[in-house]
């Protein structure tokens, strides 16, 4: 065994001390900034559930145009050439973000959600977190590796601040970077920043709901298998969600190219389509849709097509060019679908809603570890085994898809697939492995031919 260097414990202790200072500073700044955003959001969102349809028909196109103008002209302030996506900032830009445009997405999200667009609240917070962290790294003149860790800290702090789940938020900010790989050297900074941001946000009065879901005191294999089945179905729903987002973006992009439309007109057209959809779909699926999610977690009966309503509204909102988060809709989709499925399986509806909520997050975002921890933090330790089964099965079932186009694929999800490493999702070439194809050709097909020949002789 190699002899332990006397300097190693001192270096590790210095590393802990360094990240306690940097991550706590970053977490405090991010928690304060996100608290301002969340208070503004809570003051403006959810006011239109009972509004006359004519008001929605006026507000949604106007909000779309405002989003389009803001994103089209505001980003001209970015002269750095850097992209403002947190994942790309860590994976490709050595922890750098364009600071001049940091305010654009939070303002656009307030407009989207305040006027009834269907989206989430965590995207602006993770964006704020990444931007603030990048600014801290730039001000302190940190090297590239430290900047990357700090930006990941900022993303973790943003998620922890918005959801009130400091550990899950910290892991989410690290796990979302790549499918199949977690940077363990990011974990300690992320957890410190996440806990700090949560404490600071709570100090500034950000409310966090408490859920009390009763799972069986003693573990039962039957209930575990039922939650796995819910996870499988939630993984299918998550794949529909990802594909719907992709198709909506492609459709509006084609429309813009086909008719040479001025870019800000695309979200305006999306607002018109949203208004038409809300003439026939329930209003409770507009905006954040938190009331319907909370009813599902309280055990109320959920409509079978409720999850599909949310998928359609979010796809049109984000696909047309509105800006907003992508995780809160996953909560709603999973809670509504899980709550609808649970009675068919002999489960309490609230149990199904709880495991469905985290299962869709695990699959659509490809963050199963963070989703399991989120279930534990939200629903208590009694849910651990059940949310774990649902999350992992959903994560596998969604395949190699993601709501984050910049997310990289580090490792395929099964040994039967092969793909080049570290390519963005959607650009990678996931293929069946040679071993599986050979097994199919040499074992399955000959066996099927023999069975068919025997049946023919009879």
Residue-level pLDDT at 449: 73
**Residue-level pLDDT, tens digit, the chain, 458 residues:** 566 677 888 889 999 999 999 999 999 999 999 999 999 999 999 889 889 999 999 999 999 999 999 999 999 999 888 998 999 999 899 999 999 999 999 999 999 999 999 999 999 999 999 999 999 999 999 999 999 999 999 999 999 999 999 999 889 989 999 998 898 989 999 999 999 999 999 999 999 988 888 886 667 899 999 999 999 999 999 999 999 999 999 999 999 999 999 999 999 999 999 999 999 999 999 999 999 999 999 999 999 999 999 999 999 999 999 999 999 999 999 999 999 999 999 999 999 999 999 999 999 999 999 999 999 999 988 899 999 999 999 999 998 899 998 898 888 887 667 777 778 876 556 655 555 555 556 666 677 777 777 777 76
pLDDT of residue 433: 53
What pLDDT is recorded for position 323? 97
What's the CA gap between 273 and 277, in Å, rounded?
Answer: 6
Task: Evaluate whether 278 touches 53 at the Cβ level (below 8 Å).
Answer: yes
Q: How many CB atoms lie within 10 A of CB 229?
A: 16
pLDDT at 416: 67
Q: What angle do CA 196, 198, 204 make, to 5 degrees?
A: 105
Q: Look at strands 417-418 and 408-409 and give their pairing.
A: unpaired
pLDDT of residue 435: 55
Sign of the C-alpha dihedral computed for residues 220, 224, 225 and 229 taken in this order: positive
Q: Nearest 10 degrees: CA dihedral of 22, 200, 129, 34?
A: -160
| Residue 239 CA to its chain's centroid (Å) | 13
Model pTM score:
0.92
Phi first, then psi: give them for residue 262, nearest 5 degrees: -60, 125
């Amino acid at each position: 065994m190699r002899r332990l260097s006397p300097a190693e414990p001192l270096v590790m202790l210095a590393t802990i001390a360094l990240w306690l200072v940097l991550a706590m500073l970053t977490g405090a700044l991010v928690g304060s900034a996100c608290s301002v955003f969340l208070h503004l959001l809570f003051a403006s969102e959810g006011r239109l559930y009972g509004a006359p349809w004519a008001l929605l028909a006026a507000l949604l196109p106007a909000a779309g145009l405002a989003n389009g103008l803001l994103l089209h002209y505001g980003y001209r302030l970015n002269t750095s050439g850097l992209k403002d996506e947190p994942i790309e900032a860590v994976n490709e830009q050595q922890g750098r973000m364009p600071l001049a445009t940091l305010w654009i997405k939070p303002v656009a999200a307030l407009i989207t959600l305040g006027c009834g667009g269907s989206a989430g609240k965590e995207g602006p917070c993770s964006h704020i977190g990444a931007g603030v962290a990048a600014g801290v790294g730039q001000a302190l003149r940190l090297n590239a590796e430290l900047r990357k860790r700090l930006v990941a800290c900022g993303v973790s702090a943003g998620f922890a601040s918005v959801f009130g789940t400091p550990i899950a938020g910290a892991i989410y900010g690290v796990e979302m970077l790549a499918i199949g790989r977690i940077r363990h050297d990011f974990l300690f900074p992320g957890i410190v920043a996440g806990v700090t941001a949560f404490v600071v946000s709570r100090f500034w009065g950000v409310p966090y709901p408490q859920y009390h879901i009763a799972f069986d005191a003693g573990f039962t294999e039957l209930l575990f298998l039922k939650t796995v089945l819910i996870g499988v179905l939630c993984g299918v729903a998550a794949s529909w969600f990802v594909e719907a987002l992709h198709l909506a973006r492609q459709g509006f992009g084609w429309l813009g190219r086909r008719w040479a439309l001025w870019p800000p007109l695309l979200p305006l057209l999306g607002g018109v389509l949203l208004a038409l959809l809300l003439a026939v779909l329930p209003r409770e699926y507009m905006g954040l849709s938190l009331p319907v999610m909370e009813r599902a977690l309280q055990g109320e009966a959920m409509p079978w097509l409720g999850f599909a309503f949310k998928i359609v509204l979010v796809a049109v909102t984000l696909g047309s060019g509105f800006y907003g988060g992508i995780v809160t809709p996953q909560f709603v989709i999973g809670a509504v679908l899980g709550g609808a499925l649970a009675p068919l399986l002999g489960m309490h509806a609230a149990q199904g809603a709880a495991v469905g909520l985290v299962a869709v997050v695990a699959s659509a975002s490809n963050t199963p570890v963070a989703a399991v921890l989120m279930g534990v933090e939200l629903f208590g330790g009694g849910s651990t085994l059940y949310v774990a089964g649902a999350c992992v099965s959903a994560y596998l079932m969604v395949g190699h898809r993601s709501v984050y186009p910049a997310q990289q694929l580090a490792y395929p999800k099964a040994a039967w697939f092969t793909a080049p490493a570290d390519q963005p999702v959607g650009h990678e070439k996931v293929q069946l492995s040679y071993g599986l194809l050979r097994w199919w050709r040499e074992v399955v097909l000959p066996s099927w031919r023999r069975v068919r020949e025997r049946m023919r002789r009879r």
